[in-house]
Structure 1
Amino acid sequence: MKASEIRAKTPDQLDDDLAALKKEQFNLRFQKATGQLEKTARVKQVRKDIARIKTIAAQQAAKKA
């Protein structure tokens, strides 16, 4: 997910995306622990997407305040 795509979303959409990514991150960690993880690069990608969403959400909140 690109930063420009994230900036175009509303705060509610960002919250929904963040929840979905955290759920996916949990599932990936569970798969890794049980030895069923196939796409190991996805763990890193999800982690970076979560950080990207949190950063942009904080920037948008700072602009409003």
Structure 2
Amino acid sequence: MARIDDLRQSSDDQLTEQLGQLKREQFNLRFQAATSQLEKPSRVREVRRDIARIKTLQAQRASQNSK
């Protein structure tokens, strides 16, 4: 699980890369859930929340840059 403090120290490029990795993982987890091969169901929730954290941080940075 990504800590918000760690994410704040990341650059915009790093955040975009992490977001892409998390979205791929989320896609794979969906397939595992559909085929009943999901080993760790709690990971779905963690990934979803990490994606939300990154998107929130990106939105905050975008609003600061537009001011």
Give the TM-score, by structure 2 length. 0.94
> Match for residue 16 of structure 2?
15
Cα displacement string for residues 17-44 of structure 1 (whole angstroms, at most 9, x for unaligned residues):
0000000000000000011001000000
Q: Provide the rounded CA distance (Å) in 2 between the counterparts of 1:57 and 1:4.
A: 14
> Match for residue 55 of structure 1?
56
| Paired AA for residue 11 in structure 2 | T
Where does structure 1 differ by over 2 angstroms across 4 or more consecutive aligned residues? none
Q: Does 1:25 align with 2:36?
A: no
| Paired AA for residue 17 in structure 1 | Q
Aligned length: 65
Deviation for aligned residue 1:62: 1.0
Give the TM-score, by structure 1 length. 0.97
Q: Tell me, which stretches of 5 or more residues in structure 2 are unaligned?
A: none
Deviation for aligned residue 1:61: 1.1
Q: Tell me, which stretches of 5 or more residues in structure 1 are unaligned?
A: none
> Match for residue 2 of structure 1?
3
Query: Aligned Cα RMSD in Å?
Result: 0.5
| Paired AA for residue 44 in structure 1 | R
Q: Provide the rounded CA distance (Å) in 1 between the counterparts of 2:58 and 2:7.
A: 9
